[in-house]
Amino acid sequence: MRDRALLDKIDLHLIRVLYTVLTDRSVSRAAIRLGMYQPAVSAALKRLRELSGDPLLVRSGSGMVPTDAGLRMIEPSASILRAAEVLFSDARGFDPQTAESTFR
């Protein structure tokens, strides 16, 4: 690992905020989607900016626009979130008492 100290400062919650803010292009809309208060999303975005060394989103005439670095982070952050979902859904395994699928 190149920078262990940096990795120790990143958690899945920050990745969710990163992906949501970048795709919604709005801190307020991201807060609603995440079920968070806007100041908490702003604080997380501040941490993400410090960690990345990039503004990630900048204001424009039409709202917020991802920077080039922000655009490059969209797919990797989505991939991390998908991997986490698979990791934990696979760990729970199949439970016939709670399964909602129909088997024929």
Residue type, 11: D
Residue 104 predicted with pLDDT over 80: no
**Mean pLDDT over residues 34-62, rounded?**
95
Residue 57 predicted with pLDDT over 60: yes
CATH class name, domain 4-90: mainly alpha
pLDDT in tens, 65-97: 999 999 999 999 999 999 999 888 866 666 666
Instruction: Specify the pTM.
Output: 0.81
Residue 37 predicted with pLDDT over 80: yes
Q: If 0-12 CB within 10 Å is exposed, 13-18 middle and 19+ buried, where does residue 88 land?
A: exposed
